[in-house]
Structure 1
Amino acid sequence: MNIGIFTDTYFPQISGVATSIQTLKNSLENLGHSVFIFTTTDPKVSSNDSEPNVFRFGSVPFISFTDRRVVYRGLFHATEIAKELKLDIVHTQTEFSMGWIGKYVAKSLKIPVIHTYHTMYEDYLHYVLNGHLLKPVHVKRFTRAFLHHTKGVVAPSLRVKTTLESYGVKQPIEIIPTGIELNNLNDSVNDSLREELGLQSDTPVILTLSRISMEKKISRILEAMPKLTDSIKGLVLIVAGDGPDLKTLQNEAKDLGVADSVKFIGAVSHEKVGSYYRMADLFVSASDTEAQGLTYIEAMATGTKCVVFSGEYTDRLFNTPEYGRTFTDHEEMYQEIVNYLQEGPGKIKPEFLEDKLEEISADTFGEKIEKFYQTVIADYQLS
Structure 2
Amino acid sequence: MNIGLFTDTYAPQVSGVVTSIQTLRQQLTARGHRVYIFTSTDPNVPKDVLEPDVYRFPSFPFIGFKDRRLSYRGGIQAIQLAKKLQLDIVHTQTEFSLGLIGKLVARQLKIPAVHTFHTNYEDYLHYVANGKIIRPASVAVIARSFMIGMTGVIAPSKQTYDTLTKYKVSAPIEIIPTGVNVKHAESEDTSSQLRQKLGLSSDTPVVLSLGRIAFEKNIDTALSIFAEVLIKVPDAIFLIVGGGPAMAALKDHVRSLEISNNVIFTGEVDHDEVYGYYKLADVFLSASISETQGLTFIEAMTANTPVVAIRSPYLETVVIDDNIGALADDSYELLEPVVNYLMAKQAHRIIGQPSIREKVLYDIDAVTFGQRVLDCYSEALVVYHEEEDMEEATSNDLEYAKSFLTRTSFHKEGK
Residue 366 of structure 1: aligned partner: 370
Q: Partner of 1:368: helix, strand, or coil?
A: helix
Instruction: State how 1:37-48 maps to structure 2 within 5 Å.
Output: 37-48=37-48
What is the aligned-residue identity percentage?
45
Cα distance in 1 for residues equivalent to 2:326 and 2:318? 10
Aligned with 2:39: secondary structure? strand
The match for 2:359 among 351, 355, 359 is: 355
Partner of 1:377: 381
* Cross-structure match for 1:205: 206
Shift of 1:359: 1.0
Q: Secondary structure at the match of 1:194?
A: helix
Deviation at 1:332, TM superposition (A): 0.9
Aligned to 1:264: 265
Shift, 1:355, TM fit: 2.2
Query: How much has 1:362 moved relative to structure 2?
Result: 0.8
Question: For structure 1, which runs of at least 5 residues remain unmatched after alignment?
Answer: none
Deviations 1:119-146 (A, max 9, x none): 0011111111212221111101111111
Length-normalised TM-score, structure 2 = 0.89
Contact (CA 8 Å) 2:110, 2:386: kept in 1 or not? no
Q: Distance in 2 between matches of 1:303 and 1:185?
A: 14
Question: Matches of 1:54 and 1:237 in 2, distance apart?
Answer: 38
- Does 1:192 pair with 2:196? no
What secondary structure does 2:27 align onto? Answer: helix
- Contact 1:41–1:57 (Cα < 8 Å) also in 2: yes
Matched AA of 1:60: F
CA distance in 1, matches of 2:193, 2:149: 52
Q: Is the 8 A contact 1:185 1:274 kept in 2?
A: no
Distance (Å, rounded) in 1 between the aligned partners of 2:181 and 2:299: 9
The Cα offsets for residues 335-372 of structure 1, whole Å up to 9 and x where unpaired, read as 11111112224678764443222211111001000000
Higher relative contact order (CA 8 A, sep 6+): 2
The equivalent residue for 2:413 is none
Structure-1 separation of matches of 2:294 and 2:251: 24
Contact 2:287 2:331 in 1 (8 A): no
TM-score by length of 1: 0.97
Query: Is the counterpart of residue 221 in structure 1 residue 214 in structure 2?
Result: no
Letter in 2 for 1:369: V
**Alignment partner, residue 317 of structure 1:** 318
Task: Quote the residue 1:279 is aligned against.
Answer: 280
**What corresponds to 1:336 in structure 2?**
337
Give the Å deviation of 1:89.
0.4
Task: Write the distance in 2 (CA, Å) between the matches of 1:172 and 1:352.
Answer: 32
Aligned length: 383
Contact 2:323 2:357 in 1 (8 A): no
Per the alignment, in what secondary structure is the counterpart of residue 26 of structure 1? helix
Aligned residue number for residue 298 of structure 2: 297
Distance 1:41 1:119 in 2: 21
Preserved CA contact (<8 Å) 1:2 1:35? yes
Determine helix, strand or coil for the equivalent of 1:179.
coil
How far does residue 226 in structure 1 lie from its aligned partner after superposition?
A: 2.3
Greater Cα offset, 67-76 or 237-246: 67-76
Q: Match of 1:4?
A: 4
Q: Which runs of 5+ in 2 are unaligned?
A: 388-415
Q: Distance in 2 between matches of 1:331 and 1:353?
A: 26
Shift of 1:284: 0.7
Contact kept? 1:8, 1:68, Cα under 8 Å: yes
Cα distance in 2 between the residues matched to 1:320 and 1:122: 30
Matched residue of 1:122: which SS?
Answer: helix
Post-superposition Cα deviations, 1:103-130, rounded to whole Å, max 9, x if no partner, equal 1111111111110000001111111121
Q: Which residue of 1 aligns with 2:407?
A: none
Deviation, 1:381, is: 4.0
| CA-to-aligned-CA distance 1:253-303 (integer Å, 9 cap, x gap) | 001101111111111232211000001011111111111010010000011
CA distance in 1, matches of 2:164, 2:184: 32
* Cα distance per residue 1:81-116 (max 9 Å; x no partner): 100000000000011111111011111111111100
Query: Equivalent residue of 1:343, what SS?
Result: helix
How has the CA–CA distance of structure 1 residues 97 and 375 changed in structure 2, closer, same or farther, with 3 Å as cutoff?
A: same
Q: CA RMSD in A?
A: 1.5
After alignment, is 277-286 or 342-351 more displaced? 342-351
Q: State the shift of 1:182 in Å.
A: 3.1
In the alignment, the residues of structure 2 paired with residue 110 and residue 209 of structure 1 have an alpha-carbon distance, to the nearest angstrom, of 42
User: Are the counterparts in 2 of residues 185 and 271 from structure 1 also a CA contact under 8 Å?
Assistant: no
Q: Measure the CA separation in 1 of the matches of 2:185 and 2:248.
A: 29
Residue of structure 1 in register with 2:16 after alignment: 16
Following TM superposition, by how much is the alpha carbon of 1:192 offset from its aligned partner in structure 2, in angstroms? 0.9
Distance 1:321 1:125 in 2: 35
CA deviations on 1:302-361 (whole Å, 9 max, x unpaired) are: 111110111111122111101100012232101111111122246787644432222111
User: What's the CA shift for 1:382?
Assistant: 7.8
Provide the rounded CA distance (Å) in 2 between the counterparts of 1:352 and 1:147.
Answer: 37
Matched, 1:94 2:94: yes
Letter in 2 for 1:179: G
